[in-house]
Structure 1
Amino acid sequence: MKAAVVEAFGEPLAIREIEIAAPGRDEVLVRTAAVGLCHSDLHYLQGMRKFPLPGVLGHEVSGIVEAAGDGVKDLKPGDHVVGALSVFCGTCKQCLGGRFALCADPEVKQPPGKAKRLAREGQTVSQVFNLSGFAEKLLVHRNALVKIREDMPMDRAALLGCAVITGTGAVFRGARVPAGSSVAVVGCGGVGLATINGAKIAGAAQIIAIDNFTSKLELARKFGATDTILASDGDVVARVQELTHGGVEFSFECIGLPATVEQCFRMLQPGGTATVVGLFAPGVKASIEGCEFFLEKKLQGTALGSARIREDIPRLVELYMQGRLNLDDLVSRRIRLEDINEGFAAMTRGEVARSVIVFDTA
């Protein structure tokens, strides 16, 4: 099968023929329908977090089940599925506590290079994120997949497994934003736009979108933003405080930078909650003024929106089918696997919310 392979960090992906194993116990073979290009993929491609090379990235994926291994009773050939980063075992302390995204079972959530599912010319190819969706097929643990209704468009369904479940989950499960509240979202890429959309669905009365690109701020209004701030136009915190008469109740950092985390905390009103959604490089630190905690401000993180994928993804599908979840405007471009490097270049230039690779599943 064809796959986009990382052969060297910081270099373009190479389209190669690789082999994929047959499904073993608790494994499912899926024919890829669509896969989104995520900033996390770009960070890994650039070497922010190293993994054994060669390897295949791609984690925002949808597809159709081709075969299921022994022990798989909930999925069968022909089922439409969404793949998710938060593969889980279901029996560890974190899973039993409902924190499925934090499952660290090494037999289920395997580090890159451990699984022997992909190979090229006798050499193991690392399966990154336990999915490796930048390929015509993927072989995964059954708990990395969620079955969805067959009338859900697959190019939009792919986005549910990362950007959308992360952004909406940060609102619904992480911060638990109540109706009528004030919200600020810093960073209007795919995750930030999903966060804005989640805040709208939750009933937030004021949603402030903040970004460096006017095009993304215009797009943010389609997802529910009531106000927009161009980050380069002066003091962002002061502007938020002006718009809200003292600060927001909830802020969301969707980039992964110390400066924006600090801004999100400072723009809170007393008693407010800042949620860090963006992915940070190892060792990076943010600085918070200690006396701010005396105002009962809270700073918290969320992993993949604190999602419970088996519950949340089908619910997101229904919200889309009802017209309440905007996935159509999240797909900026539909491209081929061979165009993946240009897709990442467009991401770097800030031109897109999401580029989605679409495969022929006929």
Structure 2
Amino acid sequence: MKAAVLKQIGDAELEVRSDVATTEVGPDEVRVRVKASGICHTDLSAMNGGLPALAPGIMGHEGAGEVVTTGERVTHLQAGDRVVLSFVPPCSRCAACLGGQPYLCEVHVVDSFVSPRFAVADEPAFGFAGCGTFAEEMVVPAEAAVKVDDDVPHEIAALIACGVLTGVGSVLNTAKVEPGSTVAVIGCGGVGISVIQGARIAGASQIVAVDPVVAKHDAALRFGATRATTPDGLAEVSREVTGGRGFDYAFEVVGRAATIRAAYDAARRGGTAVIVGAGSQEEKVEFSAQELFVNERNIVPSFYGSADPRRDTGRMVALWRAGLLDLEGMISRRLPLADINDGLAALRSGDNAVVRQIVTFDQE
């Protein structure tokens, strides 16, 4: 089968090969035929070594498809089921899962770093984040495949898999934004747009989108932002919107030290800075002990939108059906797997209005 292979960490491009195979389906696993996969900044970060990944490996972690085969102990899925793929599948047995924090489950995540899910020319290869959605098929734990109704388009389901659960979840699950709140969102890529939509759904009265790329401002306004500005204009907009008090919630969706610091500074005293961006360990953020004590601003990390994919996938579908969550509008471009490097280059440039690009395997 075809798949986009990262030969070694640091490579700027993936190699689309046809000599890739999946591992055999274990008793608690399923084989999924991938139908759509989003291209996410996290893939770029993994390729350049900013986030943990193994090579050789199959990239991609935001996907959806159809179940082909189920393991002998899998009872809740069957061949033909349409599924959203989760890169943090809960095991339902560990302390994190039993404590109500399934997004912190490490059981399958750890296993993905020691168990190759693919073979490239008969050599073992890993699936990024336990997935590898830039492949025509993949084998994953059954818990990683969340069933959705057959009328949910594959590309819509793929968006939910990562960007939407992460962004909307950070608002509704992590921050629990209250109606009438003021919100700033720093970073207006795919996840940032999802944060903006989440803030709109939560009933925020003011949603200020912040991005240095002016071309992204129109999209931010279209999805629910009430104002849009570059970082240089944020202080002035904050004075106009909050009277200089600062925002109730400031979401950082970039993963850089400077933007994390900017989110903290943008939040009001007693407000909350929510860190959504996936940053590398080299990004160091500095605060003085005094300012942390005096300002009493909350700094809240949001991993995977504090989501339970078994619960929140259905919630996102319901919001989409109700017309409250615009997912079709987030798709800026559809492309075949053969053009994956063009999609990565467009994302890497960062100077355009791309929200989400979708690899659709039916184009192959």
* Range into which the TM-score falls when normalised by the shorter chain: over 0.9
Q: Specify the alignment match of 1:22 in structure 2.
A: 24
Per-residue deviation at 1:288?
2.1
What SS does the aligned partner of 2:250 have?
Answer: strand
Name the CA distance, whole Å, in 2 between partners of 1:224 and 1:308.
25
2:257 paired with 1:255 = no
Q: Is the 8 A contact 2:38 2:62 kept in 1?
A: yes
What SS does the aligned partner of 1:23 have?
Answer: coil
Name the CA distance, whole Å, in 1 between partners of 2:7 and 2:113.
14
Q: Specify the alignment match of 1:288 in structure 2.
A: 287
Name the CA distance, whole Å, in 1 between partners of 2:12 and 2:271.
42
What SS does the aligned partner of 1:332 have?
Answer: strand
Q: Aligned AA for 2:48?
A: Q
Per-residue deviation at 1:238?
4.5
Name the CA distance, whole Å, in 2 between partners of 1:237 and 1:261.
15
2:65 paired with 1:66 = no
What SS does the aligned partner of 2:87 have?
Answer: coil
Q: Aligned AA for 1:249?
A: D
The one of 347, 354, 357 equivalent to 1:355 is: 357
2:37 paired with 1:35 = yes
Query: 1:326-355 deviations in whole A, cap 9, x for unaligned?
Result: 111211100000000000111112221111
Per-residue deviation at 1:84?
1.2
**Structure 2 unpaired stretches of 5+:** none
Q: Is the 8 A contact 1:237 1:266 kept in 2?
A: no
Per-residue deviation at 1:262?
0.9
Q: Is the 8 A contact 1:32 1:361 kept in 2?
A: no
Alpha-carbon spacing, 1:310–1:50, altered in 2? closer, same or farther (3 Å)? closer
Name the CA distance, whole Å, in 2 between partners of 1:290 and 1:249.
22
2:88 paired with 1:90 = no
Q: Is the 8 A contact 2:51 2:279 kept in 1?
A: no
Query: 1:271-319 deviations in whole A, cap 9, x for unaligned?
Result: 1001000011123211124333323211110110000110001110111
Q: Aligned AA for 2:241?
A: L
The answer to which of 237-246 and 270-279 deviates more is: 237-246
Across the aligned residues of Structure 1 and Structure 2, the Cα RMSD in angstroms comes to 1.6
Name the CA distance, whole Å, in 2 between partners of 1:332 and 1:161.
17
List aligned pairs for 1:1-362, cutoff 5 A: 1-8=1-8, 9-16=10-17, 17-49=19-51, 51-105=53-107, 108-110=108-110, 112-231=112-231, 234=232, 236-245=234-243, 246-293=245-292, 294-350=294-350, 351=352, 352-360=354-362
Q: Aligned AA for 1:244?
A: T
Q: Aligned AA for 2:11?
A: G
Per-residue deviation at 1:49?
3.4
Per-residue deviation at 1:235?
5.1
The answer to which of 191-200 and 141-150 deviates more is: 141-150
Q: Is the 8 A contact 1:31 1:361 kept in 2?
A: no
Query: 1:222-274 deviations in whole A, cap 9, x for unaligned?
Result: 1110011122xx35334323321121100100000111111111111121001
What SS does the aligned partner of 1:192 have?
Answer: helix
Q: Is the 8 A contact 2:47 2:53 kept in 1?
A: no
Name the CA distance, whole Å, in 1 between partners of 2:117 and 2:51.
21
Q: Is the 8 A contact 1:113 1:124 kept in 2?
A: no
Query: 1:102-141 deviations in whole A, cap 9, x for unaligned?
Result: 1112xx2235552233112221011221111000011100
Name the CA distance, whole Å, in 1 between partners of 2:305 and 2:52.
24
Q: Is the 8 A contact 1:185 1:209 kept in 2?
A: yes
Q: Aligned AA for 1:227?
A: R
When the two structures are aligned, how many residues end up with a matched partner? 358
Q: Is the 8 A contact 2:186 2:211 kept in 1?
A: yes
Q: Is the 8 A contact 1:99 1:306 kept in 2?
A: yes
Name the CA distance, whole Å, in 1 between partners of 2:252 and 2:74.
38
Q: Aligned AA for 2:82?
A: H
Name the CA distance, whole Å, in 1 between partners of 2:177 and 2:36.
31
Q: Is the 8 A contact 2:54 2:128 kept in 1?
A: no
User: What is the TM-score of this pair, normalised by structure 2?
Assistant: 0.95
Q: Aligned AA for 1:322?
A: A
Q: Is the 8 A contact 2:50 2:279 kept in 1?
A: no
What SS does the aligned partner of 1:4 have?
Answer: strand
Q: Aligned AA for 2:41?
A: H
User: What is the TM-score of this pair, normalised by structure 1?
Assistant: 0.95
Q: Aligned AA for 1:64?
A: E
Name the CA distance, whole Å, in 1 between partners of 2:325 and 2:310.
18
Q: Is the 8 A contact 1:241 1:248 kept in 2?
A: no
Name the CA distance, whole Å, in 1 between partners of 2:16 and 2:154.
23
Q: Aligned AA for 1:154?
A: H
Name the CA distance, whole Å, in 2 between partners of 1:224 and 1:289.
35
